[in-house]
């Protein structure tokens, strides 16, 4: 039980810290002339992630943690650090395109499109599995897939528009 609470507390602290970083980066990108896209679906994405984490607090705080799944989640967090350090000051939870900027192609961004979303999809599936919540993992993975479908379409359109105006 103590391990489960510790895991949930660390994930919560990580998410809150990332929101602070994202807010700082968003403000700076907008000040540099960035344009936000997809603002209309952003509250839905926040609600989805808050419900996922809040539900885990409700259902998992007193459940035993599966160490193999916890190791898989820890591996995802290593990938998350790689993603965030690769994109650096341009990372945010919103879709902000700065005209004239080129796409990031280093780190995982040179290997797959939208590596941050791949990591998030993994996290949403794997953390509930740490606590044996398979159905929860499936439900939130499906909901997240729908959100990512919308988000990736919006982001791709914004990036295409931004990069086509550079040529």
Looking at the chain, the whole-number percentage of residues with pLDDT higher than 70 is 97
Q: pLDDT category, 165, cuts 50, 70, 90?
A: low
3-state secondary structure of 95: strand
pLDDT digits (tens, 9 = 90+) for 58-109: 999 999 999 999 999 999 999 999 999 999 999 999 999 998 888 899 999 9
Average pLDDT over residues 28-35: 96
CATH 1.10.150.120 for domain 2-164: no
Residue 164 pLDDT greater than 80, yes or no: no
Q: Could you tell me the CA-to-CA distances from 96 to 33, 157, 165 in Å, in that order?
A: 10, 12, 16
The residue assigned the tokens 């660390």 is: 10
Rounded CA-CA distance 39/167 in Å is: 26
For the chain, helix (H) and strand (E) counts, in that order, are 5, 2
Beta strand segments in 20-148, E:
35-37, 95-97
Residue 167 pLDDT greater than 90, yes or no: no
Residue ranges of the domains in the chain? 2-164
Residue 160 pLDDT greater than 90, yes or no: no
């Amino acid at each position: 039980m103590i391990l489960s609470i510790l895991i949930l507390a660390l994930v919560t602290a990580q998410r809150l810290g990332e929101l602070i970083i994202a807010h700082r980066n968003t403000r700076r990108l907008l000040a540099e002339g960035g344009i936000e896209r997809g603002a209309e679906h952003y509250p839905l994405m926040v609600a989805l992630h808050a419900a996922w984490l809040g539900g885990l607090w409700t259902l998992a705080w007193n459940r035993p943690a599966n160490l193999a799944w916890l190791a898989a989640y820890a591996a995802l967090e290593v990938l998350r650090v790689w993603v965030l350090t690769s994109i650096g000051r341009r990372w945010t939870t919103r879709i902000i395109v700065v005209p004239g900027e080129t796409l990031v192609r280093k780190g995982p961004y040179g290997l797959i499109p939208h590596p941050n979303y791949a990591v998030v999809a993994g996290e949403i599936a794997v953390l509930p599995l740490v606590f044996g919540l398979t159905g929860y993992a499936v439900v939130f993975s499906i909901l997240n897939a729908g959100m990512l479908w919308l988000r990736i379409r919006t982001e791709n359109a914004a990036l295409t528009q931004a990069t086509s105006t550079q040529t």
